[in-house]
Amino acid sequence: MKVDIVEILHQPEYTDENRCEPCTVLNLVIAGIAGSAIARKSKLGGAAAFGASVGLIYLRGYLVPGTPTLTKRYLPSAVLRWFGKEPELETRGGLGSVPSETTSANEQPSKAMTSDSETSTEEIDPHDFLLTEDVLEPCENRDDLCISESYSKRWNAEIVDLTEKDLDVDEAVSILGVQMEGETFEIEQYGEAWALVTGSQTIGQWPSQGALLADVGAARVLEEWSDEWDNLVPAQRGQILNGLRLFLERCPGSEGSVSISQETVESCCSSHEVITVSCDKTGERLFEQQLNEV
């Protein structure tokens, strides 16, 4: 039986559109060094070794066994950026969570978003804000923080109201504090993800419809609950709302429970530990963020 050596060696998960350029360059450098070392004793042997190495890199994506894992784990972030491989993982963290790198040259940066009143541009700690505004409080039965009962009841009531009707994009934009002159807003679905978009840019991305409804419902309550809410810019509001979803105990719009889990997300050249909150019955994801940012 004829054996196709090319088919055996070919690894599509690391080649073609899945090829990791930093891995390829690193392995080519290694191949060049090895070929040069062999060429000191035999030029023909060095050329043959380098040619064979290039062939393996072309078919397999790498020469040194374990290169994808080694690159993800040990190659510095700055080096990955040199090759155009941004090591940061894009998570769908709600309003203002879309990095500027995802917009085109003709799009407006997200700083074009403004709130309804004069706002502060200082950094805000969502945890401190939620504690100061009495949204979070010490849990009664464990050493942790929980949503206060009074806020939780109002938040759940708003979510139920939102799930019983179609979400109005103008209301969502208003309650989230976004103002962009001359722009028309739309809410679009991409697979399981939901996004607030304009003709020029994406304003925010949520991991599910439930996450979006939870944010709009929470913003409804905070508008009356907190005297400081009107003084926050949309990006700050987005951080607070995203952090608040981490404390959800029930799946929005249902009586199902939720679970917090940790998972490893792989990209072509890096790996990240991500914390998620998902509905147990439906699997709908309500929160996702890198572990080092939680």
Number of domains composing the chain: 2
pLDDT of residue 223: 94
Q: Are residues 42 and 119 in the same domain?
A: no
Q: Are residues 211 and 116 in the same domain?
A: yes
Q: Are residues 11 and 106 in the same domain?
A: no
- pLDDT tens for 121-133 read 566 889 899 999 9
pLDDT of residue 1: 40
Identify whether 264 is part of a domain.
no
pLDDT of residue 104: 35
Domain of 46?
Answer: 5-82
Identify whether 273 is part of a domain.
no
Q: Are residues 75 and 171 in the same domain?
A: no
Q: Are residues 151 and 74 in the same domain?
A: no
Identify whether 290 is part of a domain.
no
Torsion of CA 7, 13, 14, 17, to 10 degrees: 100
pLDDT of residue 168: 87
* Segment 104-132 mean pLDDT: 59
Does residue 105 surpass a pLDDT of 50? no
pLDDT of residue 6: 65
Does residue 217 surpass a pLDDT of 90? yes
Does residue 78 surpass a pLDDT of 60? no
Beta strands (DSSP E) in the chain are: 94-95, 136-138, 145-147, 186-190, 193-197, 202-206, 258-266, 271-279, 285-290
- pLDDT tens for 39-65 read 898 889 889 988 888 888 888 777 777
Return the residue matching tokens 């040259």.
Answer: 105
Does residue 103 surpass a pLDDT of 60? no
- Mean pLDDT, the chain, whole residue set: 78
Most confident of 168-172, 201-205, 228-232: 228-232
- pLDDT tens for 247-259 read 988 888 777 899 9
Query: Quick one: tokens of 232?
Result: 């926050």
Task: Round to whole Å and give the CA distance between 185 and 175.
Answer: 13
Q: Is 142 exposed, middle or buried, given 0-12, 13-18 or 19+ CB atoms closer than 10 A?
A: exposed
Q: What confidence category does residue 274 fall into, taking pLDDT thresholds of 50, 70 and 90?
A: confident
Query: Quick one: tokens of 170?
Result: 């103008």
Phi, psi torsion values for 223, nearest 5 degrees = -60, -35
Identify whether 294 is part of a domain.
no
Give the pTM. Answer: 0.66
Query: Quick one: tokens of 283?
Result: 């699997």
Q: How many CB atoms lie within 10 A of CB 253?
A: 19
Residue pair 83/34 in contact by the 8 Å Cβ criterion: no
Identify whether 282 is part of a domain.
no
